[in-house]
Amino acid sequence: MKYTYLGRTGLKVSRLVLGTMNFGPQTDEAEAFAIMDAALEAGIQFFDTANVYGGWEPEGHRGWTEEIMGRWFAQGGGRRERVVLATKVYADFNKDPHDPNDNAGGLSAYKIKKSIEGSLRRLQTDHIELYQMHHIDAHAPWDEIFGAFEDLVAAGKVVYVGSSNFGGRHLAYAQAAAKERHFLGLVSEQHKYSLLIRQPELEVLPAALELGLGVIPWSPLAGGLLGGHALDGQGGDRSRAAAAALDDAARAQLEAFHQLAAGLGEAPANVALAWTLAHPAVTGPIIGPRTVAQLNETLRAVEIELSPETLAQLDAIFPGPGGPAPQAYAW
């Protein structure tokens, strides 16, 4: 495994991030335990989850994933000490995050302080290394938000604060507010980014790079479309559904991508992950294995160095916006 610093901090993290959203609904507890053990053995020590992962009733329940991770930590053996743990706050534990009723979602000081206690209890730990805002909250002022996070940092319950699904302007607003308070502010932004979703190159990635935030791409395989089985119907439920909806042009893109990966002698998924790792703003993409075998298949990604020629070929297959704004569309 390779390692880097999380944004401008002194915290070292693995260049692959273990995503846990499948734990519970898609991956049973025994397999989840095996995946986390295998990840640590392979050198992946950056684990990402969220307070609401676990699904809806009757298929599951929100908080299930954190509960599974908590029981894994409780086994001891240095598991918790070795993991850089990231979780999230925004959506309500039991309600639809977009329900306007009774503080169902958001980043009020009330919500942040209530949510951290639930996550700590489910995860069976006394602190979170990276506590991430899962979405923006246009109704909560930054003085309220950062005041709550400062209290959590002072209490030793949170070490660093991150964001997820923020626009470039939100990152700038947040850091300006943090500077006024003499607070470190954000250290990372978790964002949807892949060969199929390149819009973040306009504003989010340049802003993160300039502000010293580590970008953590989620869905770097575009829901499985950039994996090896997207076109043969052998992938997971999400990738099969997405593949079934492809038009002829999108299918041709993926076929060209698979041919390029075959020419490199690499798995398509690993080429897609290596592409995200090549961006200077990226700390590491989130991988979400459902099995230990899937985890092991992705480890190769950190060893792949894509040549300028290969990067140009990928740009030709999946055209990006043309660079950062405004140069991408103006003189």
Q: Are strands 12-14 and 3-5 parallel, antiparallel or unpaired?
A: antiparallel
Q: What's the burial of 238, exposed, middle or buried (CB within 10 Å: 0-12/13-18/19+)?
A: middle
Selection from 73, 67, 1 nearest residue 36 by Cα: 73
| Residues acting as catalytic residues | 53
Distance of CA 307 to the CA centre of its chain: 25
Beta strands in 91-142 (DSSP E): 128-133
Q: Fill in the DSSP letter of residue 195.
A: T
- Residues 6 or more apart whose CB falls under 8 angstroms from that of 265 comprise none
Strand partners, 287: 18
- Residues 6 or more apart whose CB falls under 8 angstroms from that of 328 comprise 201, 202, 321, 322
3-state secondary structure of 163: strand
Strand partners, 178: none
